[in-house]
Structure 1
Amino acid sequence: MTKHKIEIKKIENIAARQVAFSKRRRSLFKKAGELSTLCDAEVALLVFSATGKLFQHSSSSVEQVVEMHKNMHSSIDKSSYHPPMELQMRNEVADKTHELRQLNGEELQELKFQELMKLEERLLKGLTRVLKAKDERMANDITVLAKKGVDLMQENKKLLQIADEKEQA
């Protein structure tokens, strides 16, 4: 009898789900034991059932493996440790949010005089760009409106001529 691939989705039947959980849990623990034996690795596996019951497997003891994990992470040189991408993105978002608040005139207490001068310079450059864009937009709008005005004057002239011709006839 060959094994066939099943679709991975939640099993709706509660009894069937419990049977599958038990079988797969045993298989998972067996694989963890094989990994530990074959590779001489310390393995700790914690599984919580849907009812909240804890099942654990460990090559030595779960507490020893967890303690080993804690010791490894506390001894890592922080300068050579690169946090996961998500943490980097969160930090970058926090930095940019802080920078935006400073640009809005908030959270300025910790800035030194030189930093305040640089912030002022950035704001002035930005304001200059905003004023330039506004002036260009306004000049463009004035040009468009002037063209519409000329078109309306010509239309008005035509209508006056037509009215004069009808009056004379």
Structure 2
Amino acid sequence: MVRGKTQMKRIENASSRQVTFSKRRTGLIKKAYELSVLCDAEVGLIVFSPRGKLYEFSSTACLQKTIERYINHTKEQNGYSSSKQPPQDLNQWKYEVAQMGKQIDLLEISRRKLLGEEEVMTSSSEELQQIENQLEKSLRNIRLKKTQYIECEIQQLKEKEKMLLEENQYYKVQLMKLQKQPEIKRESEDLKPEKPPSDVTTWLCIGRS
């Protein structure tokens, strides 16, 4: 069944909106990961849910470094450098940096909880459910990879077994041929006709004739 094209507008149903957000967020993070691996790109992703929860992905060990790199690149693009004066709205810039720092701290806490490095007893039931779902998905992917690896090993072993059986059959045939050669030779010798007796009489003479 062909699915219709999704209209790009806000989903009114709250449950459908939450389900769509969860699916699209997972797909977005997956695409960001694939982009970073396939193209060796530095990727940073920040997503806030409608309820204000924070989700993040970073292809580097620290998302803050990616953000700092972005800020520096933006300043260079706008014509600012370390030798020039900062923009006039310095207070606004400092405020944005402080807010970004808070977001980074929240992202780091979320990452540690997911990896089991952070105490999860203070997490809400929804956060725990999300962590459990992510772990279950990771386990499914690991089991799938393991199954594919085992199936590949089994196929290789079957092919090797087939090759060994063919070689074994070949050598059996060659051995049987070698074993039959002496018997054939003996039979051919037994079938040779006996030499007829000679009619010539040989005389032995001693002295003068």
TM range (shorter): 0.3 to 0.5
Q: Give the structure with the larger helix fraction.
A: 1
Larger radius of gyration: 2
Normalising by structure 1, what TM-score?
A: 0.43
